Structure 1
Amino acid sequence: MSLRLDYDGQTAHLLIDRADKRNAFTMAMWEALPGLLEQVRDKGDIRLLILRAADGGTFCAGADIRELLANKDDADWRAANQAAINRVQHDLARFDLPTMAFVEGDAIGGGCGLALACDLRVATPAARFGITPAKLGLVYPLHDVKLLVDLVGPGQARRMLYTGALLSAEEAQRIGLVETIADSPAALADAIMAASPHSIREIKRIVRRVLDGQAEDDAETRAIFAAAFDGADFAEGTAAFVEKRKPEFGK
């Protein structure tokens, strides 16, 4: 299926492994990805998920165009393919753990969409980003357009979508599409792993509420804030602060 998981301590690497096709996604890959997310979730001791190319080259060239053309007249296949893509993007954007896309080469079309659905994006200087449906007479899904607009704003989103232009890593960082340019995701990953997993988990949920339109606290968010003071991570974090040492958080 050209997707596989690799584990390094408490970090899971979801590897796109179809280099001979520039890591283009087939229907089978879209259908398989949610199950791989469930495997990471069920493992129980994982604190970070990194999505990356297995070979360190092209991140993902998007959907497999040859497969798409072969099935373009099959309405049932097209509907199933759209549903599979939508599920991946929804599940990845709302995954319980913090997620990072490490982009070493091109992230185009649906490949850029996968990076958009992650919490954070680290790009090497060689990375390029583009969303190209307008060059093919196609339309980008609303959910993914919102992910793009949330990151770069409507003006830059329109520029990317209207032109299909490929942006360098530097340009992507300038407009807010990429958080960090680095040759490795290690520095950002290490900083995340050093923080409270409870804090990150709940902050991620609150950020998603904001992105989905919530602007004021409700009973649930107030309860989340209050409960943290009774948690083990708060006890460890404050003890470490007083003792002038690095905190040692649990899972």
Structure 2
Amino acid sequence: MAPGLEFARDGEVATLTFARPEKKNAISHDMWAAIPDVVGEVEADPGLKVLVLTGAGADFSAGADISEFGALRATADGAAAYDKVVEGAVTALAGMTKPTVAKIRGNCIGGGCQISVACDFRFAEPGARFGITPAKLGIVYDFRSTHQLVSLIGPAHARYFLLSGRLIDAVRAREIGLVNDTFDDLDTGVADFAATLCSRSQTSVRGMNRIVGKILDGQSESDAEVEEIRLAAIHGADYAEGVAAFLSRRPPRFTAR
């Protein structure tokens, strides 16, 4: 694990923590580079159903570690190589079939907000604040992350974020759809939601998450993979259990992993 990242398991839920509170959890190059490996580990572990991303201390993350830019982004080639590592992290998170949840306190800015947008869900404390600030650095935001942002909050709000670089609070973030919900007790709220995800049919959760991802990537019609996902579900144990539980008026006991 790269310095500045902490990984933990609690039952069926994994947590990846940005752990540089003295730097507001700024994300270093090595941290960006390590995220795809964490994603691969969670996806491959049959005992894990949800990945939560959060920050140590008062903040989620204030963004990429700009103190590294002088060395790593000093040339066009260096900037391109750095951006490729960031895009790899974002792509890995966005491509997960197991649900990802961003648990947000304090600052969620720049690369930190970029990570949160790549997750499936975002929950925040009322005091959190959000912003994406490439216009303050002379950087043009990458295509994939711009597409994710536009898909999430629409072009008008995305332009506000990207072109102004202004910050918004959690109330406004919820109004525009950037945040799913806010909780005064963030730990409990996120834990309850993660438990709900774990209780659902994982065949359904992962299959539908994969289809949503394909739609976000521009697919407009079903294909052989989608049909196979749906056919496998119909013939799976979770479907039989879900129907039986519904008819018996009891909670389902799903077994697919």
TM-score of Structure 1 vs Structure 2, range by shorter chain: over 0.9
1:108 & 1:20 partners in 2: Cα distance?
16
Residue 150 of structure 2: aligned partner:
149
1:3 & 1:117 partners in 2: Cα distance?
18
Give the superposition deviation at 1:219. 3.2
1:71 & 1:186 partners in 2: Cα distance?
37
Residue 61 of structure 1: aligned partner:
62
1:31 & 1:216 partners in 2: Cα distance?
33
1:6 aligned counterpart, secondary structure: strand
2:16 aligned counterpart, secondary structure: strand
2:74 & 2:49 partners in 1: Cα distance?
43
Give the superposition deviation at 1:237. 1.0
| Contiguous gaps of at least 5 residues in structure 1 | none
Give the superposition deviation at 1:72. 3.8
After superposition, the C-alpha distances for 1:129-161 in whole angstroms (9 at most, x for unaligned) are: 100111122211111100100000111100111
Conserved 8 A contact 1:122-1:181: yes
1:68 & 1:173 partners in 2: Cα distance?
32
Which shifted more, 213-222 or 101-110?
213-222
1:212 & 1:218 partners in 2: Cα distance?
14
After superposition, the C-alpha distances for 1:185-233 in whole angstroms (9 at most, x for unaligned) are: 1222122112111100000010011111122223332332233221111
Residue 40 of structure 1: aligned partner:
42
1:189 to 160, 177, 194: 194
> Percent sequence identity over matched residues?
43
- Pairing 1:229–2:231 present: no
Match of 2:167, as an amino acid? L
Give the superposition deviation at 1:76. 4.3
1:77 & 1:7 partners in 2: Cα distance?
35
Give the superposition deviation at 1:75. 4.3
Match of 2:6, as an amino acid? R
| Contiguous gaps of at least 5 residues in structure 2 | none
Deviating beyond 3 angstroms after TM superposition, the runs of 4 or more aligned structure 1 residues are 74-77
Conserved 8 A contact 1:23-1:59: yes
1:247 aligned counterpart, secondary structure: coil
TM-score normalised to structure 1 length = 0.95
Match of 1:138, as an amino acid? I
2:7 aligned counterpart, secondary structure: strand
- Pairing 1:163–2:167 present: no
2:237 & 2:72 partners in 1: Cα distance?
53
Q: 1:220 to 1:33 in 2, by over 3 A?
A: closer
- Pairing 1:201–2:203 present: no
TM-score normalised to structure 2 length = 0.93
- Pairing 1:22–2:24 present: yes
Residue 122 of structure 1: aligned partner:
123
